[in-house]
Structure 1
Amino acid sequence: MDREIPAKERLSKRLRVIPFVFLLLILLVLATHWLNSYLKVAIVRESDILTAPVLRGRMEGSFSADAVVTPLSSYRLEAMTGGRIEALFYQSGDYVKAGQTILKLSNDDLRLNLLAQEAAVTDQVNNLSNARILNNQSLQSQRLKIAEARNALTREQRMYQQKMELKRQGFISEEEYLLAEEDFRIANTRYEYLVEEASTDSLFRKQQLEQLAGAVKQLQLSLQQVRNRINELDVKAPMSGRITEMDLKLGQIIATGSLLAVIEDDNRYYLQGSVDQYYLGRLAEGAQARIRHQGTDVKLSVTKIHPRLVKDRIQIDINGDIPQSMKSGQSIAVEIITDSLEDVLYLPQGQYLYDGGGLWVYVLDADSKSAARRSIRTGFRNIREVEVLEGLKEGETVIISSYKALKDKDKVRIKGER
């Protein structure tokens, strides 16, 4: 049979349980706090992070532009005359001197045309020679006729003057005098006619000779053009340089105007840059530029700003001592320097700024064994540094490697290498 427990005893037992409950609650709160603190702390190895100090000094205003290494002098060699490739003397990558034959073409139709043009020139030259001979013969004949007519006129004039004197003295009749006058007038008319005929005929033959000479000249020009086109079948280098583009094969048919090769002067280069229109207000000719090549800064300058925008970007030319080890067509980032700020705090640019939205960073403690998350405010930026306006002091050290692995922890514990 069960015994009934008095109410006073039951209350005493409950009171004894209360301290254990409070103790359990305190342990639970402490455990929760410790767990939350543990979850907000990231543990990394020292070798897995990069750090940088907060510096004070001069900060250059700049922006980045994409550029391509471009030769100062290049030539696109095109086929002036079509034909079939008979011989290739050079290939892409070879160096050629001006005047050297790169390849040889053949064109049978062009050579047949040359023969036809040469025959036509020969025939026309013969026609011109024959016309000159006939002109000289006609000129001599006319001169002879004019001389005979002049002599006859002189003779008839003398007879007419004699008959005139005899008639005045009454030794001859009127009829005889009139016959002498008529003979004189006929001789004078015949002489004038021959002179006029010779002049007209000379003018006509002169025009004929000029037309024949013009036709010969035109045919000779056509013949020279055909010869020039045949000479163009031997394709020569127009300048000294390196062949950077040529993809041809023996027997290949080449049309007039086709690209045969690209020759570039591989000793002199410039950078052809492309800048977003956002930076137009900060861009000026003469601005300093800089590239990083094999660990060294190379100083350059903007020499030309092209006047036209292409797809919201402006083209610029950048000149200077371009390293010889760079190759035509190589892409490279260029830093265009526009202005500068003096005596400012700054940090290096990096992915860590984008991971934190530019609003906070991890700052190392004095012992460099841990880092805490701290809010910052940034200002001016270039492609290398960012200005720090608030939140950091000169000499403090910041983790600048990516924050993605830290998962937005409040603190970072840094383990040394064993």
Structure 2
Amino acid sequence: MDVIIKKKTWTPAKLLLLGVLLLVVAAVGAGLLSSAGPARLNVDPERLTISSVTRGPFQEFVPVDGVVMPIKTIYLDAPEGGTVQRILVEDGAALTAGQPIIQLANTDLQLEMVNRETAVFDLMNNLRNTRNLLQQNRIQQLNQQAEIESQLREAKRVFDLNQNLYEQKVIARQEYQQAKNTYDYQLRRRQLSRQARRQDSLAMRGQINQMQQSVERMQSNLSLMRRKLDDLTIRAPAAGRITSLNAEIGELKNRGQRIGQLDMLTGLKVRATLDQYYISRIFPGQKGEITVNDKRYELSVKKIFTQVTKGVQVDLEFTSAPPPDLRRGQTVAVRLALSDQTVAVRVPRGGFNQKTGGNWIFKVSENGTKAYKTDIRLGRQNPDYFEVLEGLKPGDRVVTSSYEGYENMGELELRAKPQ
């Protein structure tokens, strides 16, 4: 009789297959768990720049290049046109106030000067002749007046005598009346003579005053003309150094044409050009500094040019004596302060900000083996530091070099490559 053999459910082959499946599932699960965490990357620390977060003085400033210039420049223009006759100084020479620089020649001005001098001399001669004539006329009037006074006295004497004789009935009335008429005539004559002399005197004064005023006006014009001739000699208006002298013997210079400039020797300034981005943050009195031979010199914004072309131009003057080695035209690096100096938590500048936008940074662990992605918030900045507002504290160490290729990583394994 046959015996029924029961079929086994778990055979060794099935158990082996199940074990293999469990191992595969465990491996996949471990892989999934590892991929769900932060991405890691092994990096050689020598390829990174690791900096320390510190607390210290912080000031927002902008570095700009400035050009050293004289404190004041006087432009020299030709006040009168003419031909360059002589050049009395060389370009770059130090001048004193009033020292001649260029001698111009202008025959038209010289001829006009001669004509005006002649006109003045003629008018002065006419004035002198008029005074002589008036003086002679006055002498004649005085002689006439003396003669009239003499005739009046004689007529009065005859009248008084005839009046006494007439009262005594010695002479006839006709003779008395004739003496009286003669006396009245001489009185009237004297009165008219005095009036005429007074009017002639007033007219003479008025004529002489007019001629005198004309002479004075022409002399004033002559003085102005002499000044114009003096302007043909171009002189230094103040002490300084002549630069950019542009003149050649025989060259014609028009009125108002620039011939050079005079740099004052009383001091120096620095002219800098800033980006238009800073136009709202620049104001007179703003501080800056330069470093010459390891020594700092403070400057102050003196002038801001209103015309903006390729940037904002500002003039800065030294608050104390300028460096002795500084020369006109020299380029210097200026640190222009945009804020007051304060104490802040700061991190050195680096390429990390280009990828993170200042929102996070790799912070190195205490043992220095790892760097974790840490959220931060940055504030002001200058060419040396970023101001840290949140996320870091003094003593922390962070990676400040470029994050090119690391921006998607959450953790860096800092392991040196084996030699």
TM-score, structure 2 as length reference: 0.76
Q: How many residues align?
A: 392
Does structure 2 retain, via aligned residues, the 8 Å contact 1:290–1:297?
Answer: no
AA partner of residue 225 (structure 1): L
Please give the residue correspondences for 1:108-127 in structure 2 after superposition, counting only pairs within 5 Å: 108-127=107-126
Does structure 1 retain, via aligned residues, the 8 Å contact 2:281–2:338?
Answer: no
Deviation at 1:334, TM superposition (A): 3.7
AA partner of residue 185 (structure 2): I
**2:281 alignment partner in structure 1:** 279
Deviation at 1:341, TM superposition (A): 3.6
Please give the residue correspondences for 1:343-362 in structure 2 after superposition, counting only pairs within 5 Å: 344-350=344-350, 352-362=352-362
TM-superposition CA deviations, 1:246-305 (whole Å, max 9, x none): 33333332222222222122441345677945437xx685x6x23232354323445x68
**2:252 alignment partner in structure 1:** 253
Deviation at 1:156, TM superposition (A): 0.5
**2:377 alignment partner in structure 1:** 377
Distance 1:267 1:91, change over 3 A: same
TM-superposition CA deviations, 1:377-406 (whole Å, max 9, x none): 213445543222334342344454555697
Please give the residue correspondences for 1:29-40 in structure 2 after superposition, counting only pairs within 5 Å: 40=41
CA distance in 2, matches of 1:165, 1:361: 144
**1:189 alignment partner in structure 2:** 188
Deviation at 1:140, TM superposition (A): 0.7
Please give the residue correspondences for 1:398-409 in structure 2 after superposition, counting only pairs within 5 Å: 398-401=398-401
Distance 1:131 1:373, change over 3 A: same
AA partner of residue 114 (structure 2): L
What is the DSSP-based 3-state SS (H/G/I as helix, E as strand, rest coil) of the residue aligned with 2:242? strand
**1:202 alignment partner in structure 2:** 201
Distance 1:381 1:176, change over 3 A: same
CA distance in 2, matches of 1:239, 1:405: 65
CA distance in 2, matches of 1:89, 1:412: 78
What is the DSSP-based 3-state SS (H/G/I as helix, E as strand, rest coil) of the residue aligned with 2:340? strand
TM-superposition CA deviations, 1:122-152 (whole Å, max 9, x none): 1111111111111111111111100110111
Does structure 2 retain, via aligned residues, the 8 Å contact 1:347–1:388?
Answer: yes
Does structure 2 retain, via aligned residues, the 8 Å contact 1:345–1:389?
Answer: yes
CA distance in 1, matches of 2:181, 2:328: 102
CA distance in 2, matches of 1:414, 1:101: 78
**2:291 alignment partner in structure 1:** 293
CA distance in 1, matches of 2:146, 2:404: 119
What is the DSSP-based 3-state SS (H/G/I as helix, E as strand, rest coil) of the residue aligned with 1:120? helix
AA partner of residue 358 (structure 1): G
**1:392 alignment partner in structure 2:** 392
**1:231 alignment partner in structure 2:** 230
Whether 1:265 and 2:267 are equivalent positions in the alignment is: no
CA distance in 2, matches of 1:413, 1:296: 41
Does structure 2 retain, via aligned residues, the 8 Å contact 1:378–1:389?
Answer: yes
Deviation at 1:371, TM superposition (A): 6.0
CA distance in 2, matches of 1:122, 1:242: 43
What is the DSSP-based 3-state SS (H/G/I as helix, E as strand, rest coil) of the residue aligned with 2:171? coil
CA distance in 1, matches of 2:241, 2:352: 45
Deviation at 1:185, TM superposition (A): 0.9
Does structure 1 retain, via aligned residues, the 8 Å contact 2:83–2:251?
Answer: yes
CA distance in 1, matches of 2:108, 2:187: 64
TM-superposition CA deviations, 1:355-388 (whole Å, max 9, x none): 5312234555668798665443213445543222
Does structure 1 retain, via aligned residues, the 8 Å contact 2:377–2:388?
Answer: yes
Whether 1:335 and 2:368 are equivalent positions in the alignment is: no
**2:175 alignment partner in structure 1:** 176
AA partner of residue 327 (structure 1): R
What is the DSSP-based 3-state SS (H/G/I as helix, E as strand, rest coil) of the residue aligned with 1:142? helix
Q: Percent identity?
A: 24
Deviates more, 1:403-412 or 1:219-228: 403-412
Does structure 1 retain, via aligned residues, the 8 Å contact 2:40–2:412?
Answer: no
**1:3 alignment partner in structure 2:** none
Distance 1:340 1:263, change over 3 A: same
Deviation at 1:203, TM superposition (A): 1.4
Distance 1:309 1:119, change over 3 A: closer
TM-score, structure 1 as length reference: 0.76
In structure 1, list runs of 5 or more residues that go unmatched.
Answer: 1-11
